[in-house]
A and B are shown apart, each in its own frame.
Chain A
Amino acid sequence: MDSAVINGIMSVITNPHVLLFIWLGTFIGIVFGAIPGLTATMAIVMFLPMTYTMSSIEGISTLVALYIGGISGGLVSAILLNIPGTPSSIATCFDGRPLAVKGEAGKALGVGVVFSFLGTIFGLIMLVAISPVLASMAIKFGPFEYCALAVFALSLVVTLTGRDMVKGFIGAFLGVMLATAGLAPVDSVQRFTFDFTEMNNGFALLTLLIGLFAVTEIIAAAEEVRSAKPFTIEDNVKIKGFGFSWAEFISQKFNALRSAVIGLVIGILPGIGGAISCVLAYTMAKNQSKYPEKFGTGIIDGVVASETANNAGIGGAMIPLLTLGIPGDAATAMLLGGLMVHQVAPGPLIFEKSGVVVYGVFMAMFISAIAQLVLQMWGMRIFINVLKVPKYYLLPIIMLLCVVGAFGNSNRLFDVWCVLIFGIMGYAMIKDKIATIPMILGFILGPIFETNLRRAIQHAQVSPTETFNHPIAIGFVVVTIVVLVYSIIQHRREVARLEAEEAAGAAKQ
């Protein structure tokens, strides 16, 4: 066993090709992650065939480097442009953008990059140390548990609805409804396809994301250009050192740890994805913080929570991938293909049969995390100059990249049309003050909830008392009810307080 570890590590460190590919892969991954419309998954899909002819360790190292770079790169555009570069960085926009507006973009970037690194390392440590244990826990999640988890995650929508809870729920249900378009889970009935075969696959998450975030941003900026308001161009583009102080770093330790655990758990459960983990971590950070009202105005806690979670999810997603052969998300599904092509058979025997390659991959992940830290810290100073570019040059280029990314998703123009339509829809929503985040959550969680509910019902038809054999599921449902009640009460109090303040302010005048 030990020789496999040493051999594995040596095969990476002593091979200049592998090191080169790791650095190159991380760099390309960051670029793909940073550009809205291009995602980590897309990077892996594009480069997977190229790795077929490389050696095992070279090929797989490149793929994991792309993955790590891709997930980490999303924070760049989230902070600078308010457009998440990948679905895993949605929650980074919430506080990242306000920080940039306040002139603290450097701090936001620095915090994001460093905590991305820490998140990756946390996930990696868990992967190396206790993956079999975690994997065996992951298998216990069946349809009942997933359904309950989806309900729990959906309930957190309440916390993110802003002032008008009803509008938040409208957004969430609209998202769920959008997700029903296409072939139904389980029985493949065509829903809302209007006999249009393009619709059989439903809408792609990427197109919704680009439409709701990127296109709305562009339309909003276009509005600004027409008005008489002076055009703001951020000026603070200097970064000192990491961009934030040691004291700030220490203050985030609990936040980071909690977010890392959340990211890890969501990563381990196949099928949920980075978008949910970053939003969940953000919501938990907000709920458990001493100053929840500051979230959204530009504090580093939000960025820390989101970025630590999505990077910890990388290690998390690798756990079921390596030990069970079950991919945790779309990107790891591609990695699975890459592994099998190189004769690394994921499953219970992976450490015995392909130990050298596996330990090599762990080492590659570690080096890639460091590469990401170095590249992004250094790149930060370059990225931040993006803020200096006037929006009327920048945003059309972004739009072009988004369209390319949307097309690249499945080589169909249909996706591009979707982006435009969602963009207009998103703009209408923003004008009506319906939050867009619940819509994304509804879109992702709706199918998970429905598929697993229907499967659970099938199981229950076999043995009606089945439901009571699932303590984890029941636990989630109970927690959901508690959280919902508590959140609604909190929300009411908060809104009442804000209204009282405004009334007092108005009375004074």
Chain B
Amino acid sequence: MKFKKFAVCACALAMAASMVTGCGNKEKKAATASKAAANAAEKWPSKPITFIVTHGAGGDTDYNARVLARLLEKELKQPVVVNNVTGANGSIAMTQYKDGKNDGYTFIATNTVAMASNEATGITKFGYTAFEPVCIYGKQCGENILVRKDAPYNTLKEFIEASKQNPGKLKLGIAMGGSSYVAALIMEQKGGAKFAVVDAGDGGDRMTALIGGHVDATIAPYTLAKEYIEKGQLKTLATLISERSKTLPNIPTAKESGIEDLTVDTWYGILAPKGTNPAIVEKLNAAILKIVKENPEYKAEVEKYDFQAPWALNVADTKTYLDKQRNHFMDYSKYLTSAKKKK
């Protein structure tokens, strides 16, 4: 019993002592902090880096992140480990890691549309400003507006016209809250289209719905639709990226049909948790730019898999593009969030 009391007292003293030393000298720390930051950036990377991918293994976000990680390993001479933390269109990972360890060894790999639409629909209460953006390192080959081969329209304009003449009859299958929904909203608001917008699940489900005749049109990434377009079962009316893709120059953009605002560019980005040393951010950005712009293996990979042409931005441009996209989506957020409240 005596020993127990002694032990408890000793533990309490130890805890108190550690608290005192823990709440150490703040001023001294600040002075050494900036020096330490500069040192850290020079030595970076000195241990393995982790990429947290916000979407599931096998998808395009994950694939791009893994290709980049693999080639970064060779460039930075440190292992780059990829972990998937999935759920809720990436919002779970983003919320978990935005305020996480910002020592420059944990980064978040995501797609920018997910981040922007999460903020616009209200799933998250933050956007790209909650992070230190590192790099936008790729763009998707484009979401396409697809219809079946036997549909009587060949351009987006014809399709929207048809919807105006039969208001509420043509079914457009989308995923509510996602980029396809934002595109449908823009068509409605700025193009005057009068589709009957129905939820049809994510990419693969939307394709089945279209092929099976349950919807009249849908919006899906080109990579999912490619086989059907080749076989002649589906045709694409337009692509939603802002300029014609270098690898698919025959597909007109939706913008060309006259609706200036109808663009959804899916970019792949690396973000760092808030407060990460800017020098480290620049260093990583430089390494990524080198790989994307100069590495032939990277070029071959992304072209093969995803019809992507290599494309990456420096830190300043990354922030500009992210800001533009966020504003674009937030313009429609009143429709996205009020749509939820109505129900």
A257-280 CB contacts (< 8 Å) to partner B:
270-271
Looking at the assembled complex, report how far the CB atom of A508 sits from the nearest CB atom of chain B, in whole angstroms. Answer: 59
Residues of B within 8 A of A190 (CB): 123
0/1 interface trace, chain A 141-172, chain B, CB 8 Å (1 if under):
11100000000000000000000000000000
B305 proximity list for chain A (CB < 8 A): 340-341, 343
Q: Residue-by-residue, is B123-160 near A (CB-CB < 8 Å gives 1, otherwise 0)?
A: 11000000000000000000000000000000000000
From B92, B168, B201, B204, give the contact of A462 (CB < 8 A): B168
Residues in A neighbouring B95, C-beta threshold 8 A: 197
* Residue B223 at the chain A interface, CB threshold 8 Å: yes
**Is B209 in the interface zone, CB < 8 Å from A?**
yes
Q: Which of B199-219 contact A (CB under 8 A)?
A: 199-201, 204-205, 207-209, 211-214
Say whether B83 faces chain A, with CB atoms less than 8 Å apart. yes
CB within 8 Å for A188 and B340 given contacts A183-B88, A348-B233: yes
- Give min CB distance, A41 to chain B, whole Å: 10
The interface-forming segment of B28-36, B38-46, B169-177, B274-282 is B169-177
The interface-forming segment of A45-53, A95-103, A288-296 is A45-53
A411 touches B84 (CB 8 A): yes
Interface residues of A in 366-411 (CB under 8 A from B): 410-411
Cα separation A200 to B91 with both chains bound (whole Å): 8
Which of B2-10, B54-62, B241-249, B319-327 participates in binding chain A? B54-62
What's the tally of chain B residues with a CB closer than 8 Å to chain A?
A: 54
Are the CB atoms of A49 and B196 closer together than 8 Å? Answer: no
Q: Which of B106-114, B224-232, B265-273 contacts A (4 or more CB under 8 A)?
A: B224-232
Interface residue A140 (Cβ < 8 Å from any Cβ of B): yes
Residues of B close to A341: CB separation below 8 A: 58, 63, 305
Contact residues of A between 294 and 324, Cβ < 8 Å to B: 320, 324
Residue B82 is within 8 A (CB to CB) of chain A in the complex? yes
- Complex: A188 Cα to B117 Cα, angstroms: 12
Docked-complex contact A462 and B196, CB < 8 angstroms: yes
Chain B 172-190 interface 0/1 with A at a Cβ cutoff of 8 Å (1 = within): 0000110000000000000
> Does A4 interact with chain B (Cβ within 8 Å)?
no
Measured in the bound complex, the distance between the Cα atoms of B176 and A405 in whole Å is 32
Interface check A444, CB cutoff 8 A: no
In the complex with contacts A454-B199, A462-B171, A270-B208 CB distance below 8 A: yes
Given contacts A188-B121, A270-B205, whether A461 and B196 have CB atoms under 8 Å apart is yes
Interface residues of A in 425-458 (CB under 8 A from B): 451, 454-455, 458
Q: Given A324-B211, A349-B230, answer yes or no on A187-B92 (Cβ-Cβ < 8 Å).
A: no
The smallest beta-carbon distance between A43 and chain B, in angstroms, is 12
**Do B208 and A336 have beta carbons less than 8 Å apart?**
no
For A455, the chain B residues whose CB sits under 8 A away are: 198-200
> A337 at interface (Cβ–Cβ under 8 A)?
yes
What's the Cα separation between A425 and B144 when bound, in Å? 47
**CB-contact partner of B83 in A139, A343, A347, A411, under 8 A:** A411
Instruction: Check B177 against A458 for contact (C-beta < 8 Å).
Output: no
Of the residues B62, B70, B176, B211, contact of A187 by C-beta under 8 Å: B176
Say yes or no: B204 contacts A327, CB within 8 Å: yes
- Are A325 and B196 also in contact (CB < 8 A) when A197-B92, A336-B58, A462-B169 are? no
> Which residues of chain A are within 8 angstroms of B121 by Cβ–Cβ distance?
188
A343 to B63, CA, bound (A): 13
Judged by a CB distance under 8 angstroms, whether A221 is at the interface is no
Residue of A197, A326, A335 near B207 (CB, 8 A) is A326
- Please tell me the number of chain A residues within 8 Å of chain B, measured between CB atoms: 54
For the complex formed, measure the closest distance between the CB of B163 and the CB atoms of chain A, giving whole angstroms: 12
Q: Which of B58, B230, B231 contacts A334 (CB 8 A)?
A: B58
What are the residues of chain A within 8 A of B224 when measuring CB–CB? Answer: 325
A338 at the interface (CB under 8 A from B): yes
Shortest Cβ distance from A48 into chain B, in angstroms? Answer: 5
Q: Which of B56, B88, B95, B211 has the most CB atoms of chain A within a 10 A radius of its CB?
A: B88
B64-105, CB under 8 A of A: which get 1 and which 0? 001000100000000000111111100110011000000000
Q: Which residue of chain B is the closest to A342 with respect to CB atoms?
A: B305
A143-B176 in contact (CB<8A): no
Tell me whether B198 and A337 are in contact (CB under 8 A).
no
In the complex the two chains form, what is the Cα distance from A346 to B207 in whole Å? 13
Whether B340 pairs with A189 at a CB distance below 8 angstroms is yes
- The answer to whether A346 and B227 touch (CB under 8 A), given A188-B177, A455-B200, is yes
Flag whether B26 is at the interface (Cβ < 8 A): no
Residues of B close to A343: CB separation below 8 A: 304-305
Q: When A48-B57, A188-B121, A340-B305 are in contact, do A410 and B86 touch as well, CB less than 8 Å?
A: yes
Residues of chain B within 8 A (CB-CB) of A348 are 227-228, 231, 233
Any chain B CB within 8 A of the CB of A238?
Answer: no
Interface check A212, CB cutoff 8 A: no
Rounded to whole angstroms, the CA-CA distance of A327 and B203 in the bound complex is: 11
Please tell me if B287 contacts chain A, counting CB pairs below 8 Å: no
- Residue B339 at the chain A interface, CB threshold 8 Å: yes
Is residue A418 within 8 Å, beta carbon to beta carbon, of the partner chain?
no
User: Which of the residues A139, A140, A337, A347 comes within 8 Å of B59, measured between beta carbons?
Assistant: A337
Q: Is the CB of A187 within 8 A of B91?
A: no
A contact residues around B207 at 8 Å (CB): 324-326
A459-B198 contact given A200-B87, A340-B305, A411-B83, CB 8 Å threshold: yes
User: How long is the Cα–Cα vector from A186 to B343 in the complex, in angstroms?
Assistant: 11
Measured between beta carbons, the chain B residues less than 8 angstroms from A189 are 340, 343
**Closest CB in chain B relative to A410 CB, distance in Å:** 6
Q: Cβ of A143 and Cβ of B62 under 8 Å apart? A: no
Within 8 A of B (CB), among A217-241: none
Q: Judge whether B123 and A183 touch: CB under 8 Å.
A: yes
Closest to B224 in A: A325
Least distance between B141 CB and chain A CB atoms (Å): 13
Listed by A's residue number, 7 A-B pairs whose Cβ atoms lie within 8 Å are A52-B70, A139-B213, A337-B57, A340-B305, A341-B63, A410-B92, A411-B85
Closest 10 CB pairs of A and B: A337-B58, A347-B227, A201-B87, A139-B212, A142-B214, A200-B88, A462-B196, A197-B95, A458-B198, A186-B199
- Apart from A345-B227, A462-B169: 9 A-B pairs, beta carbons within 8 A: A198-B96, A347-B226, A347-B228, A349-B231, A350-B227, A411-B83, A451-B201, A462-B168, A462-B171
Chain B contact residues, CB within 8 Å of chain A: 56-59, 62-63, 66, 70, 82-88, 91-92, 95-96, 121, 123-124, 168-169, 171, 176-177, 196, 198-201, 204-205, 207-209, 211-214, 223-224, 226-228, 230-231, 233, 304-305, 339-340, 343
